[in-house]
Amino acid sequence: MSLRAHSLGGLCGARRRGAGGEGVPSRILAGSPVSGISKNPFLNAFVQRLRELGYVEGQNILIARLSAEGRAERHGDLVAEAVGLNPDVLVTVSSPMALVAKGATTTIPIVMATSNGPVERGIVPSLARPGGNITGLTLDAGPEIEGKRLELLKQAAPKTIRVAYIAPGFFWEGQWGAAVREAARALGMDLVFVETAAPEHIRNVLVTARRERLDALYACDCPATFAARRVIAEFAVEHRLPAVSAYRDATEAGGLISYGVNHLEQYRRAAVYVDKILKGAKPADLPIEQPTKFELAINLKTAKAFGLTVPQSLLIRADEVIQ
């Protein structure tokens, strides 16, 4: 049995032992929008959880890794390559990738390690009853979380007015963009939409956007901003722009604040879905999981460097305060 996993870490492939006779190791294929696959903590968490579930790489599972290197245009080629290997499961890390995979096969099970708006984007008819060959996890706890991050930014940097909202076009045009625009109006803030780009181009995009007299940066929760998270954080520090995102490691790299799901746990949960499917479960019968816990991280060192005094009421709520 083959498995294809597309995660923020690489392309893997797996083939498990057949029933009776000599078994063949499962082959897992996992795709990634980022480079540096071997060091990617999310794919590593996925593989570690598979190991805990009894899958030993090189024995009963084989894992090959490919990277999209932050380029969504490569998704089609990665999916075509994976489907051509006839895997038992495909693991995707984004809604655009899941859509490409859905269009490429109706028979191979697809597990979404992460996704945004899978119902709204037409990937599945519902979270409780996904039907077809797709299941997994979503980052969605409702579009309101986009507004929540903006509120946190305003609390930490109250003088903030003009904010660059870095996101794909479908985010800005969809319910997420609507939610963050509504929050901005309520908070008396102006948003400047900045469309995501490959990591090597995002800096130039931000340099252009900065001409809009920005006060802060907001990176939405999507694979493109994940791939460029450190570049965005470094740009924010260089230009003394408070930055909010969904990624704790972006805050560790100099961003001011982050609020989002534990992505490592998302990938560990994706491995559980893979295990269930390899043991015979059908994707149509496995409801898509929504996150229930969000982690708040604040970089106090960045705040002090920017002359900001983070309210004590916000600090005591933080899961991590970086000194």
What are the residue ranges spanned by the domains of the chain? 2-140+263-285, 144-260+294-322
pLDDT band at 32 (very low <50, low <70, confident <90, very high): low
CA separation (Å) from 192 to 57, 175, 186, 211? 46, 17, 16, 11
Q: Do domains 2-140+263-285 and 144-260+294-322 have the same CATH topology?
A: yes
Global pTM reads 0.80
Classify domain 2-140+263-285 at the CATH superfamily level. Response regulator (3.40.50.2300)
Domain 144-260+294-322 is classified in which CATH homologous superfamily?
Response regulator (3.40.50.2300)
Query: How far apart are alpha carbons 62 and 75 in whole angstroms?
Result: 22
Structure token digits, residue 4: 């294809």
* Separation between Cα atoms, residue 10 and residue 66, nearest integer Å: 5
Confidence of residue 92 (pLDDT cuts 50, 70, 90): confident
Q: What pLDDT is recorded for position 30?
A: 58
Share of the chain above pLDDT 70, in %: 85
What's the mean pLDDT in 133-158?
92
For residue 33, pLDDT over 50 is answered with no
Section 108-136 average pLDDT: 93
Q: What percent of the chain has pLDDT over 90?
A: 54
Residue 6's pLDDT is 34
The number of residues in the chain equals 323
First-to-last C-alpha distance (Å) of the chain? 48
- Looking at per-residue pLDDT, the higher value among 132 and 73 belongs to 132
Q: Where residue 298 falls among pLDDT bands split at 50, 70, 90?
A: very high
Reported confidence tier of residue 68, pLDDT bands at 50, 70, 90: low
10 Å Cβ neighbour count for 241? 22
Q: Are residues 116 and 172 in contact, defined by beta-carbon separation less than 8 angstroms? A: no
Asked which of 8-22, 184-198, 199-213 is least confident by mean pLDDT, the reply is: 8-22
